[in-house]
């Protein structure tokens, strides 16, 4: 899961109000329950010590949330009298929750916001394509491509002039496929989509895929459902998009685990991968975490660490946090502190399945490092 959307909270100052709540559906009974729930959340924040301005900012943001929007759940993070980040959730958080703490309560986002990557869907025909972005909720239109509209269809006869015409048709298809592929590549970069699904005729989709850059071609799938025509099979296309996103998550998770197993140093010294809170905290201090690995059932996720004002001011002991420049260290959960630090350093996070007996990190906390330590650095730590 990319963590760049957390950038607003990496530069903010705590303490933080973290709220996970539902916003719908819309009917009189549920609206009443929702308002009561929001009132309880705000009351809870006040009882935990949140200042009145921050509580009011949370209340106003909840009241502004659209009850008929998709998805119907969101996370809010507020500090110093303003909501710094609102993020939609793809899963219902169940019982609403509000926390007032030194760091934003980020760990639930990994499960509730989902690890599924954003996906660009191109509904393709011979003349162009309609583009949609699928990330949270329903697909959003992000553009269209219109190529040449003549000639597009072959003639019926077989004399020389018809063959010449058919060649022109082939040229039109190829030109339009290249145009669509170019726009897909441009749009993927603009909206930060990690996957592409092409929907439409098999030949047209293959032609577009063949024109894509190699790195996009490798993450592109073709759906036999959907297309540009009126009445196209949207339901099955949505299911195909969902399957492609889930498959990508599974492959990415397994790849991260393979890298972790291969990079883990049997001696317990940091190399290409580390595990356990002390080693991962040390890697975070050095801005070396490329991918943070968290197993949801890991016993060390809630282990206490000490943090200062900066995301890299983190240590397993309060005295060590002082040495890193933290004037008044605060206690925090390890998973929240490590997520914040990883996000600030431009890293990613992966939620791992399993119970710890399948090669996942000890205690449920591990990391893939940006670079291994040199022999000199290893010697210095001995």
- Which strands make up the sheet holding 128-134, listed edge to edge? 140-146, 128-134, 119-125, 195-200, 220-223
- Residue 91 is predicted with a pLDDT of 84
Q: Is the dihedral of CA 192, 194, 197, 203 positive or negative?
A: positive
**195-219: burial string, b at 16+ Cβ within 10 Å, e else:** bbbbbbbeebbebbbebbeeebeeb
Query: What DSSP letter does each residue of 272-292 carry, written as one string?
Result: SEEESHHHHHHHHHTT-EEEE
Q: Specify the pLDDT at position 65.
A: 77
Helix (H, G, I), strand (E, B) or coil at 58: helix
Q: Residue 20 CB: number of other CB atoms within 10 A? A: 23
Summarize the confidence of residues 8-23 as an average pLDDT: 90
The rounded distance, in Å, linking the Cα atoms of 339 and 347 is 9
- What percent of the chain has a predicted confidence (pLDDT) above 90? 49
pLDDT of residue 231: 67
Tell me the mean pLDDT in the region 300-314.
90
Tokens of 372: 């291994």
Query: Which one, of 288, 301, 271, 295, lies nearest residue 346 by Cα?
Result: 288
Mean pLDDT of 30-46: 86
pLDDT above 70 (res 136): no
Q: 38-76 as b/e, with b when 16 or more CB fall inside 10 Å?
A: beebbebbbeeebbeebbebbbebbeebeeeeebbbbbb
90 band by pLDDT with thresholds 50, 70 and 90: confident
Tell me what pLDDT residue 102 has. 93
Identify the band that residue 66 occupies on the pLDDT scale cut at 50, 70 and 90.
low
Q: What is the mean pLDDT of residues 302-322?
A: 91
**Pair type for strands 304-307 and 195-200:** unpaired
Specify the pLDDT at position 37.
86
Residue 166 has pLDDT above 70, yes or no: no
pLDDT band at 349 (very low <50, low <70, confident <90, very high): very high
Chain centroid to CA 308: 26
The pLDDT value recorded for residue 151 is: 42
pLDDT score recorded for residue 159: 46
pTM, two decimal places: 0.81
- Given a cut of 60, is residue 229 above it in pLDDT? yes
Average pLDDT over residues 335-364: 87
Retrieve residue 265's tokens: 């140093």
The least confident of 50-59, 84-93, 118-127, 161-170 is 161-170
pLDDT, position 70? 53
More confident position, 163 or 223: 223
Which two tokens mark 189?
């970069």
Of 75, 70, 198, residue with least CA distance to 136: 70
Cα first-last separation, the chain: 34
Q: Is the model more confident about 78 or about 327?
A: 78
Helices (H) and strands (E) in the chain, counts: 12, 16
Whole-number mean pLDDT of the chain? 84
pLDDT, position 167: 44
Report pLDDT digits (tens) over 183-210: 999 999 999 899 999 999 888 899 999 9
8 Å CB contact between 16 and 101: yes
Between 251 and 66, name the one with better pLDDT: 251
Query: What's the confidence (pLDDT) of residue 376?
Result: 55
Task: Report whether 281 contacts 275 (CB < 8 A).
Answer: no
């Amino acid at each position: 899961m990319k963590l760049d959307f957390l950038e607003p909270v990496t530069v903010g100052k705590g303490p933080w109000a973290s709220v996970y709540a539902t916003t719908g559906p819309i009917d009189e009974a549920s609206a009443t329950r929702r308002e009561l729930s929001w009132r309880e959340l705000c009351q809870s924040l006040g009882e935990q010590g949140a200042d009145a301005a921050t509580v009011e900012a949370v209340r106003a943001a909840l009241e502004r949330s659209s009850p008929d929007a998709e998805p119907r759940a969101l996370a809010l993070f507020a500090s110093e009298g303003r909501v710094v980040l609102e993020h939609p959730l793809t899963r219902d958080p169940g019982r609403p929750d509000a926390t007032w703490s030194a760091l934003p309560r980020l760990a639930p986002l990994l499960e509730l916001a989902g690890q599924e990557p954003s996906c660009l869907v191109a509904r393709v025909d011979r003349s162009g394509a309609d583009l949609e972005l699928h990330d949270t909720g329903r697909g959003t239109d992000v553009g269209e491509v219109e190529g040449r509209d003549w000639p597009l269809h072959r003639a019926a006869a077989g004399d020389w002039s018809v063959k010449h015409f058919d060649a022109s048709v082939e040229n039109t298809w190829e030109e339009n496929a290249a145009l669509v592929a170019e726009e897909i590549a441009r749009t993927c970069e603009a909206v930060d989509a990690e996957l592409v699904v092409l929907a439409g005729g098999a030949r047209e989709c293959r032609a577009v895929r063949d024109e894509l850059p190699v790195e996009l071609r490798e993450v592109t799938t073709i759906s036999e459902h959907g297309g540009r025509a009126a009445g196209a099979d949207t339901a099955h296309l949505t299911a195909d998009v969902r399957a492609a996103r889930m498959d990508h998550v599974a492959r990415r998770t397994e790849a991260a685990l393979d890298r972790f197993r291969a990079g883990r140093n049997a001696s317990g010294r940091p190399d290409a991968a580390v595990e356990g809170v002390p080693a991962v905290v040390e890697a975070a201090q050095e801005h070396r975490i490329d991918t943070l690995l968290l197993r949801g059932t890991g016993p060390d996720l809630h282990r206490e660490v000490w943090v200062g004002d900066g995301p890299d001011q983190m240590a397993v002991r309060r005295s060590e946090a002082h040495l890193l420049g933290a004037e008044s260290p605060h206690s925090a959960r390890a998973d929240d502190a490590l997520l914040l630090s990883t996000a600030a350093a431009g890293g990613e996070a992966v939620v791992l399945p399993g119970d710890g007996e399948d090669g996942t990190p000890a205690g449920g906390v591990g990391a893939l490092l940006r670079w291994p330590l040199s022999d000199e650095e290893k010697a210095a730590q001995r």
